[in-house]
Structure 1
Amino acid sequence: MPFTPPEVLPVPGTDTTVDRTVTSGAVPMTKEPPVSEDRPMPPRIAVFGAGSIGCRLGGALAANADVTLVGRPAAMAELDREGLTVTGPGDRRLHARPRTAVEPSAVAGADFVLVTVKSTGTAAAAEALAPHLSAHTVVLSFQNGLHNAQLLRDALPGRPVLAGMVPYNVVRTGPASFHQGTDGRLMLERAEAAQPFVAVARAAGLPVELREDMPQVQAAKLLMNLNNAVNALSGLPLREQLGSRPYRLVLARCQREALAVFRAAGIGPARLGPVPAALMPAVLGLPDAVFRRAAAASLRVDAQARSSMWEDLQRGRPTEIDELQGEVLALAARHRLPAPANRRLHALVRAAESTPDAPPWAGPALLAALDDVEPR
């Protein structure tokens, strides 16, 4: 599988934005100097479950690695036809043409396999991958939820599996086009096996932070992801939704319940931003003007940013509500604690999954619905 280095072209009018056009297997237009036998081969990376997050990561990594995206036939056909375009945050733009595939066998020989399927597909992904993973392949789980890395370890004995976390929001904006609406650093379990991937990712413009507390990081991410349901039901961009106190009060109630069950389970969420996890519900409850000043970083998202759950509802796909609010409910049941806000949102998202074109919820109505105070 030949690998052609990327062509980097400056975009007129800016000195910070580049359009990276990356083509795997292309014939160069000009004669290249002979490749030294001592020159290291680029790592082979397969992205299994190449949806919004997988395409964003794979598109960036294609600048410095031999990347194969493995996904649904229709999505891969779009990529083959259009090429992959990733925009944001801000005015950043990337265009790439990584290799695509629809069969799990395409991961054979990969140095790293990034698993980016939804949590509901983790067990099936492990079963599909198992016959094709090389002995040296490192599996990286960049998924929501608390248990996916362990599920992969249990299903892939003897193979290194590392937990990761993607902090930013990515949505599909058109055929083979994706937009990253927020910024942040990938987080990955600290291990020697991770070092080659980290080097390639950083060289490709993907900041990575190695962590020794990934269970705590994932718990903190779950707290933030409890907003996915609120955003999906609101129908609003994230910035607008988070700027409205009634929606934030819904999220605050969900987070308080989650923090209570985390304490009962002995889980201490990591601090991933300026506000400790325990104080997040109080900050969310501040009046809008005060919140805008106190949580300016939380609102530093562009106008297109929305949750992946909103996109799932728009496209008629199953959501990850069981791995978010559902995870809180499972822990609450285990420790005999109430979680009515999370239970109500879980039910509302389930209803939205089965009701195409359901109208969005206004903030006050959604807040009232937590207690069934008034009809919608």
Structure 2
Amino acid sequence: MIPKDSRIVVAGTGSIGCYTGGLLAAAGKHVTFLARPRVEAEMRQSGLKVVDLDGTERTVPADQLSVTSDPATAFDHARTILVAVKSGATEEMAGLITQHAPADCIVVSLQNGVGNADILRKSLPATMTIVAGMVPFNVVQSEAGQLPLTVRRTTQGTVLVDNNVAGLADFLTAPGLAVSENDDMQGILWGKLQMNLNNALNALSNLPLATQLAERDWRVLLADQMGEALKVMKAHGIKAAPVQGVSPAVLPWVLRLPDFLFRIVARKMLAIDPRARSSMWEDFSRGRATEIDYLQGVIVRLGDEKNVKTPIARKVIACVKQAEGQPIRCHPVAEIRQKTVL
């Protein structure tokens, strides 16, 4: 069991890191945030506000926050480290953890993608315990410079973690943050990857999630991507597990329903805060590199290994790569489908 007063380090202060760490800190846990200098300055100035799905606000005042941009300070005496950086930064973060964290700490991946826990296992000392985790819900963050830094949950869901550390789920549970164990985390991560194929479409649409999902052309494009992914997974013997009770095999069928039927069948899917957008849209809006290589990119690479064609995923990747660093605009569905891929 993990002592209640053990120190938690949140490595990465994007939307998920700030949300989970903020709720744990608000619940009285000993939390330190490892943040970029800009975010560190904002949190030191005005604290951190966390807004739950039901509108409940919890604010951690600046004088009660432990935040630093120095990894040596952050990881000193850490017991549990929540890794919440983008997938492309996992190896770099593993190097910092190896250099500065205690050799017997617990490292939990709360990232998108299916391979981050494996990267951590390969990169970190064998004395550290690596835990795969999955955050099913969407969180949006206030614009840069808007104070206090605010993160708002916009969809439902329970955080899942592997069952290899006794008491970890209970230790990480706090008001507004439910955490449970699961014995098929790899299947869960593949199920989440299938759903995360919409991250890119939402970013390219430049629409709120609820608006985008209400439009059948976008849903059919997403269903076509999911169909490719399911063929790739079948070729590799990968079985995606349901996320939030949604069967991976049934989801493409549901998405293709006419609008009036979809609104009936997928009421929970559409019960989204109107401000909700994908994390990739946030990357677009802030001029950051995206995680496309760890989402659609995984499907394309595995498809190539088994000679399974993935034309839609390739087109989406090409559109995202072209859009990175450019002003955000709406990419019509027809433009994505007609994209030429060399």
Q: TM-score, normalised by structure 1?
A: 0.84
> How many Å separate the matches in 2 of 1:54 and 1:250?
30
Give the corresponding residue for 2:330: 360
Residue 157 (1) aligns with residue 125 (2): yes
* Contact 1:61-1:67 at 8 Å conserved across structures: yes
Secondary structure at the counterpart of residue 81 of structure 2: strand
* Contact 1:61-1:200 at 8 Å conserved across structures: no
Q: Which amino acid aligns with 2:117?
A: A
The structural deviation recorded for 1:180 is: 1.0
Equivalent residues in 2 for 1:27-66, closer than 5 Å: 42-62=5-25, 63-66=27-30
**Residue range with higher mean Cα deviation, 270-279 or 212-221:** 270-279
Secondary structure at the counterpart of residue 277 of structure 1: coil
Give the corresponding residue for 2:228: 257
* Contact 2:223-2:255 at 8 Å conserved across structures: yes
Equivalent residues in 2 for 1:316-355, closer than 5 Å: 316-354=287-325
> How many Å separate the matches in 2 of 1:372 and 1:45?
45
Structure 1 residue aligned with 2:92, among 100, 124, 142? 124
Give the corresponding residue for 2:217: 246
Structure 2 residue aligned with 1:190, among 148, 154, 163? 163
> How many Å separate the matches in 2 of 1:128 and 1:247?
40
**Residue range with higher mean Cα deviation, 165-174 or 287-296:** 165-174
Q: Which amino acid aligns with 2:161?
A: L
Q: Which amino acid aligns with 1:142?
A: L
* Contact 1:220-1:271 at 8 Å conserved across structures: yes
Secondary structure at the counterpart of residue 150 of structure 1: helix
Identical counterparts, % of pairs:
40
Give the corresponding residue for 1:23: none
Secondary structure at the counterpart of residue 333 of structure 2: helix
Give the corresponding residue for 1:95: 59
Q: Deviations over 1:68-88 (max 9, x none)?
A: 000100011101111101113
Q: Which amino acid aligns with 1:75?
A: V
The structural deviation recorded for 1:368 is: 5.4
Describe the shift of the 1:246–1:147 C-alpha distance in structure 2 as closer, same or farther (beyond 3 A).
same
Q: Deviations over 1:309-357 (max 9, x none)?
A: 0000001000100011111111111111110000000000101104x21
Equivalent residues in 2 for 1:2-81, closer than 5 Å: 42-62=5-25, 63-81=27-45
In the alignment of these two chains, the number of paired residues is 328
Give the corresponding residue for 2:71: 104
**Residue range with higher mean Cα deviation, 119-128 or 84-93:** 84-93
Secondary structure at the counterpart of residue 287 of structure 2: coil
* Contact 1:228-1:309 at 8 Å conserved across structures: yes
> How many Å separate the matches in 1 of 2:269 and 2:279?
17
Q: Extract structure 1 runs of 4+ deviating beyond 4 A.
A: none
Describe the shift of the 1:79–1:194 C-alpha distance in structure 2 as closer, same or farther (beyond 3 A).
farther
Residue 148 (1) aligns with residue 119 (2): no
The structural deviation recorded for 1:216 is: 0.3
The structural deviation recorded for 1:194 is: 4.7
Describe the shift of the 1:353–1:372 C-alpha distance in structure 2 as closer, same or farther (beyond 3 A).
closer
Output the aligned Cα RMSD: 1.5
Structure 2 residue aligned with 1:138, among 96, 106, 115? 106
The structural deviation recorded for 1:201 is: 2.5
* Contact 2:315-2:339 at 8 Å conserved across structures: no
Q: Which amino acid aligns with 2:69?
A: V
Q: Deviations over 1:187-238 (max 9, x none)?
A: 00012x251x322322443111201101100000000000001100111111
Unaligned runs of 5+ in 2: none
Q: Deviations over 1:272-306 (max 9, x none)?
A: 23431111111100011100100111111111111
Describe the shift of the 1:180–1:205 C-alpha distance in structure 2 as closer, same or farther (beyond 3 A).
closer
> How many Å separate the matches in 2 of 1:323 and 1:100?
28
Q: Which amino acid aligns with 2:75?
A: V
Q: Deviations over 1:20-61 (max 9, x none)?
A: xxxxxxxxxxxxxxxxxxxx7612100011211101010001
Equivalent residues in 2 for 1:190-209, closer than 5 Å: 190-191=163-164, 193-195=165-167, 197-209=168-180
Greater radius of gyration (CA)? 1
Secondary structure at the counterpart of residue 157 of structure 2: coil
Describe the shift of the 1:150–1:101 C-alpha distance in structure 2 as closer, same or farther (beyond 3 A).
same
> How many Å separate the matches in 1 of 2:304 and 2:169?
38
* Contact 1:142-1:164 at 8 Å conserved across structures: yes
> How many Å separate the matches in 2 of 1:58 and 1:263?
37
Q: Which amino acid aligns with 2:70?
A: E
